[in-house]
Homo-oligomer: A and B are copies of this chain.
Amino acid sequence: MPFDALFVPADVREATGERAWVQAMLDFEAALARAQGDAELADDIASASVPPLTDPSSGSPVPELVASLPDGAHRGATSQDVMDTAAVLVAKRTLPLIDGSLSAIASRCAVFARDHRSTPMPARTLLQQALPTTFGFKAAGWLVAIDDVRWLLRDVPLEAELGGAAGTLASFGDQGLDVLAAVAAELELDEPVLPWHTRRVRIGQLGAALALTAGAVEKIALDVKLMAQTEVGEVSESSAGGRGGSSTLPHKRNPVGAALAIACAHGVRGAASVLIAAQAQEHERAAGAWQAEWEALSRALALSGGAAAALAEALDGLEVHADRMRANLDLTGGLLLTEAVAMRLDRADAKAVVSAAASRASASGRPLREVLIEDGAVSLSEEEIDAALDPSAYLGSAEAFVDRALEAHERRGDGG
C-alpha cells in the first residue's frame, strides 16, 4: 500500500505480506504431506522455490503454487484448504505482534493509573467540564478496555482447514478424520468439528475482534489528541528527534502517534466490514465472498498492528502536564464543584441555593468562592467553602476504581 511504512511496523508488514502467505501455504502443504506419513516429501515442499504468483485463471494462487511443488504434494487437498489454513497461520503469527503493542499500551496505562491515581483533572462530558476526576482514573478506563480486547483476540479459535474438493475428504477414503487431526496437530491449530469452507463465523469473529481492538486504541488516541490541544495542554506527545514538529510552524507539537493510530483504526473498520459481510458464501465454496477475505484479513491485521504500535509509541513518550490539568480545573472559577458545595449544605433547597450562587458567579465573572462567602443562605465557613471547592476532596470512588482496575489487570496477567 502507498506509504504503508508510515502506518505499519516492519515486522507486521512482513507477517501480513505475500511472502508470509506463501510461506504459510507451504507450511500447510508440508504438514499435509507429513500427516500422510511422507516426511521426505514434506521436506522437499518446505524447500521448494516459488515464483511470484500472478495467474488469475483459476481464481486463486494455489494451482500456480502447486505447480512449483514436487509430485505428490497437495494430495487430497483443495485450493481452499491451502488458503484458509494459510490465512489462519498468518493470523496466528501476526496476532502476537499486535499483542506486543497492546501489552505495551496496557503497561503504560497501568503506570499512568498508578502514578496519577490522585492527580486531579476535569472530567468532561459532551466536551464540557463536568466534575473533577483524576488522570489515573481516566488511564484505568483505557487499561480495562485494552485488556478486554486482548482477551477478545485470544478468544478467536484458529482452526486448520482440510476438506478436499467437496468438504468430505472423499479422496482419503476412511482416513479423512485422521489426516485432518494430524494436519491440525502438526500446525498447532485447532481442529474443526467439520470443514469450514463456507462457515465463516471465525473469520468474521476475527475481523470483529480486530475492529474492536482498533476501536479501543482509537478511543485512547482520541482522548490524547483532545488533551493535547493547544488550549487544553494536559499532555504532549514526545518531540524527540523533531517528531510532531512542523518546519514552518516551530511551536507545534502535533499528536502524530494519536493521528496515525486513528487513521489505522478507520482502515481496520473498513477491512473488518468486508470480513463480517463475507459470511454469506454459497454452497460448498463461494464465488467472490471468499476471495474477498484475503486482502481484507491482511489489512485488518496489518492496520490493527499499526494502530496499536502508533499508540504505544505515543504513550511511551507522552508528557503529562499535571499543572495544566489543575489549571484547567480552575477555569470555571469553581463552578465545577457546585454539587460538592450543595452536598455540604444542610437544607432542603441546598441545590437551588448553590445553583443561584453559581449563576451569579457565572454572570458576573467572579469566582464562586467569593459569591458563596457573601451568600447568607450558605451557612459554611470560609474553610468549609474552600474544602468544598477542593477538587481532590470530591473524587468519590475514583481512586478505589483505579485500584480495582489495576488488580483486574494483574489478575488477567500479561495474557490480556
Contacts and interface: CB of A to CB of B under 8 A. Distances in A.
A231 B195 CA distance: 25
B193 A126 contact: no
Contacts of A196: 141
Contact of A63 (B218, B247, B280, B288): B247
A248 B223 CA distance: 24
Interface in A307-354: 310, 328, 331-332, 335-336, 338-340, 343, 351
Interface residues of A, number: 168
A196 B143 CA distance: 12
Contacts of A195: 141, 401
Interface in A243-292: 243-256, 258-267, 269-274, 276-292
Interface stretch (A26-34, A171-179, A370-378): A171-179
A398 interface: yes
Given A2-B16, A215-B200, A269 B277 contact: yes
A133 interface: yes
Interface string A373-416: 00000000000000000000011111011001100100000000
A55 B255 CA distance: 15
B194 A229 contact: no
Interface stretch (A39-47, A97-105, A205-213): A205-213
A262 B292 contact: yes
Contacts of A230: 122, 124, 127-129, 328, 331-332
A401 to B, nearest CB: 4
A168 B201 contact: no
For this chain, the copies found in one complex come to: 4
A123 interface: yes
A152 interface: yes
Interface in A176-225: 176-177, 193-196, 198-202, 204-205, 208-209, 211-212, 215-216, 218-219, 221-223, 225
A122 B165 CA distance: 11
A124 to B, nearest CB: 4
Contacts of A112: none
Contacts of A258: 287-288
Given A145-B199, A168-B395, A283 B204 contact: no
B167 A123 contact: yes
A173 B228 CA distance: 31
Contacts of A172: 396-397
A149 interface: yes
B270 A168 contact: no
A61 B3 contact: yes
Contact of A166 (B131, B167, B265, B404): B131
B5 A17 contact: no
Contacts of A358: 250-251
Contacts of A270: 270-271, 273-274, 296
Given A177-B400, A397-B176, A6 B54 contact: yes
A283 B226 contact: yes
A201 B193 contact: no
Contacts of A169: 396-397
Contacts of A223: 282-283
Given A125-B283, A141-B198, 19 more contacts: A1-B295, A6-B56, A6-B60, A124-B229, A127-B255, A128-B230, A128-B252, A131-B164, A131-B166, A148-B201, A170-B395, A171-B396, A174-B397, A201-B215, A215-B277, A248-B339, A250-B355, A259-B291, A262-B292
27 contacts: A1-B299, A57-B243, A123-B165, A125-B283, A126-B285, A127-B229, A129-B251, A131-B165, A131-B168, A140-B194, A168-B395, A168-B398, A170-B398, A171-B343, A176-B400, A193-B401, A199-B216, A201-B216, A225-B287, A229-B232, A230-B328, A250-B358, A262-B280, A267-B296, A269-B273, A270-B273, A270-B296
Closest 3 A/B residue pairs (Cβ): A262-B288, A215-B279, A123-B166
